[in-house]
């Protein structure tokens, strides 16, 4: 006889249940009527996935014990922090994996001597912001979607408006507590298990379950200039000149690092966002305002929490915490790979001339580089230090995603790639299950090293999703 929400006894379920030892909300199985809605909770409804079980550990020891259950039963494992993977990789990405949901790892402390913060592996970015603010008005660099979890964000890259000034989110991580494939709870840093630390900073999902992060922090910026320029157009061809000006601006190798910006195309035109960490006088002194297309400009000088809230609102325009069916494609650009006038023209013509299948689509270009590029390529697994721009295309299905929309979005990246000599790569935070050679695209020059580290720390590929680093993998 099985209790509701508890599968008929199997060696795996017996093991997981023994770890939970009667605790509520500790483990669930596919026969639980709320399994998909409350436990699995897919971010992208386009990709169905049914884990063999979802666990919610309370401690690193629980994580260790759950991992040992998986090893004993030959089941793959993936940790889930915020669960924002575009292909549901935090749920395994394929059926039958064990999910370790870190939602209970909400611990936070601040060392006011070093201003190093210790942050639980399940903390959402909105809570990271508020807890840093409440404990000394500190800040780190991270993305704008409030529902993203630090677990994936700080182990893939973690890009946001302050990244050009402060580096990516993972560049703030100085130490972690991690549970590895043999169930050992250990620390990793540049001086302890440094090879594992290298891998966790850019390819974390394939190497362990991080229960806590120790991060260096910055004082919150005082004044911040927020700029938003919205342009409504009859056709996207009218954006050719506007985009070229924006791309020229962000291609300047001496572009002020206090400046972050996005160029967001949508059905009705474009929104250009800009954030400058400084005063209005400093903003004007950079010369950037003279180089950005002008129109309906709104400049808000605000406190830090207000700035973060505004950025979250902007992010919600294109991909919120709502669960939906969507398709996403992305590309990364070095300075010698930016779009030529011919490519920009072809891209805008393609958008105008193609059936889009949805009104909810976005093509987002964002500036990167700056402080991110100061760190050597071989210092961490993150391999996009030589990039100055990313683009991401999204098509959202209301209520369902059509092939027409998928084709439209993939055609955007194809149009750009077909007019670029070099093979363009992809940031693994914008995961794309349709990529050819995804590991090469995500981790390129660091892949051989990652394959060796994987063979040492996880030779049986316990920590697995369809595009994670595999043992011994080479380019």
- Are 139 and 161 a contacting pair, CB within 8 Å? no
> 388: closest CA among 239, 241, 243, 252?
252
Residue 59 gets which letter from DSSP? Answer: S
Q: Where are the alpha helices (DSSP H) in 52-183?
A: 60-72, 125-134, 150-156, 163-166
pTM for the predicted model, two decimal places: 0.94
| Percentage, residues of the chain above pLDDT 70 | 92
- Which pLDDT value is given to residue 297? 54
Q: Do residues 366 and 261 lie in contact, with contact meaning Cβ atoms separated by under 8 Å?
A: yes
Q: What backbone torsions phi and psi does residue 325 show, to the nearest 5 degrees?
A: -95, 120
What are the tokens at 123? 């903390």
Q: What is the residue-wise DSSP string for 279-321?
A: -HHHHHHTSGGGTS--SEEEEEE--HHHHHHHHHHHHHHHS-S
What distances in angstroms separate CA 341 from CA 44, 243, 345, 417, 420, one per listed residue? Answer: 34, 10, 6, 14, 12
- Dihedral through CA 302, CA 303, CA 304, CA 310, nearest 10? -40
* Tens digit of each residue's pLDDT (9 = 90 or more) over 385-443: 999 999 999 999 988 899 999 999 999 999 999 999 999 999 999 999 999 999 999 99
Higher pLDDT, 437 or 308: 437
The pLDDT-based confidence of 360 (bands split at 50, 70, 90) is confident
Q: Is the pLDDT of residue 288 over 50?
A: yes
Cα–Cα distance between 311 and 300 in angstroms, integer? Answer: 12
Q: Is the previous residue joined to 184 through a cis bond, with omega within 30 degrees of 0? A: no
- Starting at the edge strand found earlier in the chain, the sheet holding 209-216 runs 108-111, 116-120, 209-216, 173-179, 185-189
């Amino acid at each position: 006889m099985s209790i509701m929400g508890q599968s008929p006894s199997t060696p795996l379920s017996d093991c997981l249940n023994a770890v939970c030892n009667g605790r509520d909300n500790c483990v669930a199985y596919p026969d639980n009527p709320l399994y998909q809605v409350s436990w699995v909770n897919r971010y992208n409804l386009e990709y169905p996935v049914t884990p063999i079980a979802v666990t919610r550990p309370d401690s690193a020891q629980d994580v260790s014990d759950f991992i040992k259950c998986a090893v004993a039963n030959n089941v793959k494992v993936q940790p889930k922090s915020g669960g924002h993977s575009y292909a549901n990789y935090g749920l395994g990405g394929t059926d039958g994996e064990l999910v370790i949901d870190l939602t209970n790892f909400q611990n936070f402390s601040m060392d006011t001597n070093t201003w190093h913060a210790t942050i639980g592996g399940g903390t959402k970015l909105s809570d990271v912001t508020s807890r840093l603010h409440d404990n000394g008005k500190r800040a780190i660099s991270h993305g704008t979607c409030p529902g993203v979890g630090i677990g994936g964000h700080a182990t893939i890259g973690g890009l946001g408006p302050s990244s050009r000034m402060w580096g990516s989110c993972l560049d703030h991580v100085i130490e972690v507590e991690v549970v590895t494939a043999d169930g050992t709870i250990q620390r990793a840093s540049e001086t302890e298990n440094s090879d594992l630390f290298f891998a966790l900073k850019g390819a974390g999902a394939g190497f362990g379950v991080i229960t806590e992060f120790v991060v260096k922090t910055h004082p919150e910026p005082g004044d911040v200039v927020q700029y938003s320029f919205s342009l409504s157009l009859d056709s996207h061809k009218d954006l050719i000149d506007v985009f070229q000006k924006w791309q020229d601006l962000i291609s300047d190798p001496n572009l002020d690092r206090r400046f972050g910006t996005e160029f967001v195309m949508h059905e009705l035109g474009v929104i250009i966002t800009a954030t400058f960490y400084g005063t209005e006088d400093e903003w004007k002194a950079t010369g950037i305002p003279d180089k950005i297309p002008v129109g309906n400009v709104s400049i808000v000088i605000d406190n830090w929490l207000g700035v973060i809230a505004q950025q979250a609102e902007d992010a919600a325009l294109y991909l919120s915490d709502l669960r939906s069916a969507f398709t996403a494609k992305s590309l990364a650009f070095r300075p010698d790979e930016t779009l030529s006038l011919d490519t920009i023209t072809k891209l805008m013509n393609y958008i105008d001339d193609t059936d889009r299948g949805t009104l909810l689509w976005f093509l987002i270009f964002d500036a990167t580089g700056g402080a991110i590029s100061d760190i050597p390529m071989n210092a961490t697994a993150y391999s996009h230090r030589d990039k100055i721009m990313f683009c991401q295309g999204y098509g959202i299905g209301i209520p369902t995603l059509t092939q027409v929309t998928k084709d439209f979005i993939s055609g955007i990246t194809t149009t750009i790639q077909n007019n670029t000599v070099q093979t363009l790569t992809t940031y693994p935070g914008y995961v794309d299950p349709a990529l050819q050679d995804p590991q090469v695209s995500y981790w390129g020059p660091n892949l051989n090293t990652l394959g060796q580290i994987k063979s040492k720390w996880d030779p049986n590929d316990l920590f697995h999703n369809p595009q994670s680093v595999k043992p011994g993998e080479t380019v």
